[in-house]
A and B are shown apart, each in its own frame.
Chain A
């Protein structure tokens, strides 16, 4: 089976940097993905780590350490529009298993 742990909520102010951690236990692993979901919206893909290390996409970066079964999403220069839920997801052979999500609240 697979299980993922991530904080339920994180708060930060505009312009700050925030890191959302994700630890996982899995019997089959291809990579770690991150999805963003605004309230009332659909999950949308942010980032994927198939290999250890850092992946950078604009203001967002994601990191994976397979040996530690650990990853994180780093959001820089926070904006109000970044207020959303962020899900880490383990990629198995065919499917994604999602964590419960971290609600990020960005305040002025």
Chain B
């Protein structure tokens, strides 16, 4: 398997523009997670899906952020309108599921999208 795939790897945009980040999870994984990483706040969970259904979006900073998972192999995170404080690295991760077992708890991260909003 190619692992979790994210695109684009880098995105530079101007304030007010719409940004769409894309993710393809590992085939067979039931869970998909979107994280944001900054120096100040560390690695924050934004939203996660189970079998394509959003389960918890309490980490989404505000209404400018939205995420979808139309099928098991694709998810998007959209920011509209973007602001300079949204500049961060956004990671997508996937896992088999949840339980006390190592095999299902392990999350596999994509390479991330480095977003810069000017």
Interface residues of A (CB under 8 A from B): 30-31, 33, 41-45, 48, 50, 87, 91, 93-101
Given contacts A42-B91, A94-B48, contact A101 B107 (CB under 8 A): no
What's the least CB distance linking A35 to chain B, in Å?
A: 8
Residue-by-residue, is B28-63 near A (CB-CB < 8 Å gives 1, otherwise 0)?
000101000000001101001010000110000000
19 A–B contact pairs at CB < 8 A? Answer: A30-B98, A30-B100, A31-B102, A33-B105, A42-B109, A43-B91, A44-B109, A45-B107, A45-B108, A48-B102, A50-B100, A50-B102, A91-B98, A94-B50, A94-B55, A95-B48, A95-B56, A96-B45, A98-B43
Residues of B within 8 A of A30 (CB): 98-100, 105
User: Bound state CA distance, A51 and B42, in angstroms?
Assistant: 27
**Other contacts beyond A30-B105, A45-B107: 4, CB < 8 A:** A31-B100, A42-B111, A94-B31, A95-B48
Residues of A within 8 A of B45 (CB): 95-97
Q: Tell me which residues from 100 to 118 in chain B have a Cβ below 8 Å from any Cβ of chain A.
A: 100-102, 105-112
User: Bound state CA distance, A31 and B105, in angstroms?
Assistant: 9
